């Protein structure tokens, strides 16, 4: 194409994209008018208006995210037809709703990502636009089906991966590659495992897969939403913009430490304690700890009933305990069985002594009346309640687990390892979360709380019924010529407002606050770090077992994490999980990956390092410094990078001022990385090499290493500087 022809084509494309934005603005204005009207409450019932408001709010957000990069490409078929590809779909209402812009997730858009010179998918050309805001700056054409004729398919990709990093992860809708697209659109109803080394784009592929599933299965998935689980808050903040930028907001982002609403993690376990808590063997400990709280009295407990001195002896308590355990109910629910047996024994003994000589069992009515009176007395007897609390207490997960941790005696009684002991019982750790969640299932709810809520609900319903009855009676008493004044009339939806607390929160907010909420799909990132107990929690959150699992076994840090995907998933989804791998590194340049690959070969020789798609032309370096020189050397790096565009970070072992641990940078990427004291990172236990591998592969452009001792042998590929 000549320069003049290119300019003419560019003007034409700018005009077409401007027309798309005009159509977007018109559609946005129409939806916002509907949203405003729905908020004003014009017509319909309360529930209908709520549903309409939420539906229109979602549509407003979907249209708003399309402002930047609305259209990013064009496909030309062999027959000469054009299709424009963008973030959302737009249609021509005047022409039988003919698509003027295809949503990137639509089946017709697939060729944009998978067509190649060897397999053109009946396409002649792929055009990719470079845009800023609403403006098309230029475009790149890739001619398909004719290898060697001006093919430049990697131009947009290389521009994206070479661009300076910002504060958060960017979507890749304009540069999805064929191997990524196949995973994004994979039709698999169960668990999909996506494994890939650093920089292969596995996280962003998983997020685009969620957007694709929400597009193709919206009715099934939207009302329950999607859960995204990441390793730490920094990572979640890094990725949290991707799905909203693709028009999807019904998503909850959380860490495993936040899966129990209201719980605050304030401490960190030792590796051994984390390993013990992460194993399914801890289930036996929890069951034994509960059983230990279902006690028998060492000495009979005195109870006075209707002036008769009675006792709860060990034999009675044992009978009640056996019956309660045999009921199969959770601990708190089974308390009613325990209580029923105890009260039966006490009332039988009391009736036998009170009615001795004149009352027999044949006088059923008198016997049962006396029992009812005695049961009422027991219910009001504080000593009896205290006895029940001693023998079969109502427990919460926290009130069971905290005393267990702080008592070596209770740990021994539960068959637990003493490594679980700690001085502060309620100093909760990430590894405690799945145990607390499990205990909700084992203990059940405190029924007194449920009963109080039910009584309140009934009282509100009775109030509403009385008000409605009074309105009906007033209308019946009126003559035909009479009529109710407006201020006397209470509409049904207004009445509902008076006695029902309507939940107007967005789905993501409601789901995050509800421990019993279940999701239609769950994404788990850095999944190699999750323990067996973590997986139990997540499986409860998604009964349909629809997961996208993202990880890299070579980067596993946790002693309780996955040794293999099969060992973690097969117990829950036998035969229902699929595995896909990504092999191309889009983040780490070849110069840096060569250094990182040497570390990988040292601790995981069976794992193939991902192949970098590009070189940056900058060699990674190392420099030896003394302990006194180290702070100044770090400051020098920070100062130099502050003058460049992009992001940077200093990664080092625990306790080195000015550095961040490698574990807190998982999944993140930076233009420049400085690694401090790699020899100390390697010395931090069996997973030290994996930590160093993570640290080295965070950089997209520049990598430096500062070391105080001799440079580890696996890093001799670095260029030493003075």
- Whole-angstrom CA distances from 99 to 85, 294, 346 are 10, 67, 79
| Contact present, 659 and 676 (Cβ < 8 Å) | yes
Classify the phi-psi angles of 20: left when phi > 0, otherwise alpha if psi is within -120 to 50, otherwise beta: alpha
**Closest residue by Cα to residue 603 from 696, 530, 527, 710:** 696
SS3 259: coil
Residue 653, number of CB atoms within 10 A of its CB: 22
Count of alpha carbons within 13 angstroms of residue 639, beta-carbon side: 6
By the 8 A CB rule, do 576 and 688 touch?
no
Contact 65, 87 (CB under 8 A): yes
Q: Compute how many other C-beta atoms are within 10 angstroms of the C-beta atom of residue 9.
A: 14
Q: Which two tokens stand for residue 656?
A: 């080195």
Instruction: Provide the b/e sequence for 222-255 (b: ≥16 CB within 10 Å).
Output: bebbbbbbbbbeebbebbbbbbebbbbbbbbbbb
Asked if 135 and 124 touch (Cβ cutoff 8 Å), the reply is: no
Asked if residue 569 lies in contact with residue 193, where contact means CB atoms within 8 angstroms, the answer is yes
Cα separation, 291 vs 313, whole angstroms: 19
202 marked as part of a ligand binding site: yes
Q: Is 196 annotated as a binding residue?
A: yes
How far, CA to CA in Å, does 123 sit from each of 73, 98, 103, 344, 458? 13, 20, 18, 82, 65
DSSP readout, 415-441? Answer: T--GGG--S-TT---TTHHHHHHHHHH
User: Is 421:404 a contact under the CB 8 Å cutoff?
Assistant: no
Annotated ligand binding at 200? The verdict is: yes
Q: How far are the Cα atoms of 124, 173, 212, 398, 698 from residue 105, in angstroms, in the given order?
A: 21, 9, 6, 45, 30
Residue 201 marked as a ligand binder? yes
How many residues make up the chain in this entry? Answer: 722
* Distances from the Cα of 381 to the Cα of 205, 305, 384, angstroms: 63, 9, 5
3-state SS string for 80-127: CCEEEEECCCEEECCCCCEEEEEECCCHHHHHHHHCCCCCCCCEEEEE
C-alpha 592/C-alpha 602 separation (Å) is 16
Of 576, 578, 567, 568, nearest to 537 (Cα)? 568
Q: Which residue has the tokens 């049904």?
A: 492
Measured from the Cβ of residue 398, the count of other Cβ atoms closer than 10 Å reads 16
Is-contact 674 559, C-beta < 8 A? no
- 77 is an annotated ligand-binding site residue: no
Q: Is 198 annotated as a binding residue?
A: yes
**Separation of alpha carbons 492 and 484, rounded Å:** 15
Rounded CA separation 398/471 (Å):
49
User: How far is it, in rounded angstroms, from Cα 401 to Cα 420?
Assistant: 11
d(CA 122, CA 248): 31
Is residue 376 part of an annotated ligand binding site?
no
Alpha-carbon distance of 667 to 253, in angstroms, equals: 15
Binding-site entries for ATP: 196-203
Binding-site entries: 196-203
């Amino acid at each position: 194409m000549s320069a003049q022809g290119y300019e003419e084509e560019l003007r034409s494309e700018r005009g077409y994209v401007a027309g798309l934005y005009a159509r977007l603005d018109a559609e946005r204005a129409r939806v916002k008018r509907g949203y405003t009207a729905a908020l004003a409450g014009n017509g319909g019932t309360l529930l209908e208006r709520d549903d309409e408001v939420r539906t229109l709010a979602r549509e407003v957000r979907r249209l708003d995210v399309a402002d930047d990069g609305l259209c990013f490409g064009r496909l030309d078929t062999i027959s000469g037809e054009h299709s424009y590809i963008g973030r959302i779909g737009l249609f021509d209402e005047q022409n039988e709703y003919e698509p003027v812009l295809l949503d990137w997730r639509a089946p017709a858009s697939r060729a944009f990502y998978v067509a190649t010179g060897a397999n053109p998918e009946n396409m002649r050309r792929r055009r990719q636009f470079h845009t800023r805001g609403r403006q098309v700056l230029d475009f790149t054409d890739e001619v398909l089906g004719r290898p060697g004729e001006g093919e430049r398919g990697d131009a947009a990709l290389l521009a994206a991966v070479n661009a300076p990093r910002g504060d958060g992860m960017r979507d890749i809708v304009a540069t999805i590659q064929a191997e990524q697209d196949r995973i994004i659109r994979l039709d698999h109803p169960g668990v999909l495992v996506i494994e890939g080394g650093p920089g292969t784009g596995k996280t962003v592929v998983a997020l685009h897969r969620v957007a694709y599933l929400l597009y193709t299965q919206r009715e099934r998935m939207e009302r329950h939403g999607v859960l995204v689980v990441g390793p730490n808050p920094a990572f979640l903040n890094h990725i949290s913009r991707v799905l909203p930028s693709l028009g999807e907001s019904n998503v909850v982002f959380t860490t495993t430490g936040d899966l129990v609403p209201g719980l605050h993690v304030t401490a960190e376990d030792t590796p051994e304690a984390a390993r013990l808590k992460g194993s399914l063997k801890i289930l036996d400990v929890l069951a034994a700890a509960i059983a230990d709280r279902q006690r028998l009295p060492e000495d009979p407990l005195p109870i006075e009933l209707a002036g008769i001195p009675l006792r709860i002896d060990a034999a009675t308590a044992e009978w009640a305990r056996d019956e309660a355990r045999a009921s199969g109910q959770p601990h708190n629910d089974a308390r009613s069985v325990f209580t029923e047996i105890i009260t039966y024994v006490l009332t039988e003994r009391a009736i036998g002594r009170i009615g001795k000589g004149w009352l027999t069992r044949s006088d059923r009515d008198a016997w049962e009346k006396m029992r009812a009176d005695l049961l009422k007395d027991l219910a009001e007897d504080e000593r009896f309640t205290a006895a029940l609390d001693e023998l079969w207490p109502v427990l919460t997960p926290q009130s069971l687990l905290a005393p267990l941790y702080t008592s070596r005696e209770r740990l021994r009684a539960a068959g637990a390892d003493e490594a679980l002991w700690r001085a502060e019982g309620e100093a909760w750790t990430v590894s405690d979360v799945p145990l607390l969640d499990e205990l909700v299932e084992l203990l059940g709810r405190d029924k007194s709380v449920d009963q109080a809520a039910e009584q309140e609900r009934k009282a509100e319903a009775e109030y509403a019924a009385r008000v409605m009855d009074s309105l009906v009676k007033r209308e019946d008493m009126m003559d035909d010529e009479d009529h109710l004044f407006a201020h006397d009339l209470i509409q049904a939806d207004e009445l509902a407002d008076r006695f029902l607390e309507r939940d107007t929160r967005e789905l993501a907010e409601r789901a995050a606050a509800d421990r019993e909420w279940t999701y239609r799909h769950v994404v788990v990132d850095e999944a190699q770090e999750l323990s067996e107990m973590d997986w139990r929690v997540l499986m409860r959150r998604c009964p349909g077992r629809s997961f996208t699992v993202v990880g890299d076994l070579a980067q596993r840090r946790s002693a309780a994490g996955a040794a293999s995907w099969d060992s973690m998933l097969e117990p829950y989804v036998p035969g229902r999980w699929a595995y896909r791998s990504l092999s191309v590194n889009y983040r780490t340049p070849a110069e840096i990956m060569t250094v990182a690959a040497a570390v990988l070969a040292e601790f995981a020789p069976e794992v193939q390092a991902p192949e970098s798609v590009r070189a940056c032309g900058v060699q990674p370096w190392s420099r030896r410094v003394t302990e006194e020189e180290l702070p100044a050397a770090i400051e020098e790096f920070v100062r130099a990078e502050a003058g460049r565009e992009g992001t940077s970070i200093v990664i080092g072992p625990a306790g080195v001022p000015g550095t961040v641990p490698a574990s807190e940078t998982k999944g993140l990427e930076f233009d420049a990385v400085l690694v401090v004291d790699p020899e100390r990172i390697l010395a931090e236990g069996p997973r030290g090499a994996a930590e160093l591998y993570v640290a080295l592969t965070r950089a997209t452009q520049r990598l430096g290493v500062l070391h105080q001792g001799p440079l580890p042998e696996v890093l001799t590929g670095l260029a030493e500087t003075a």
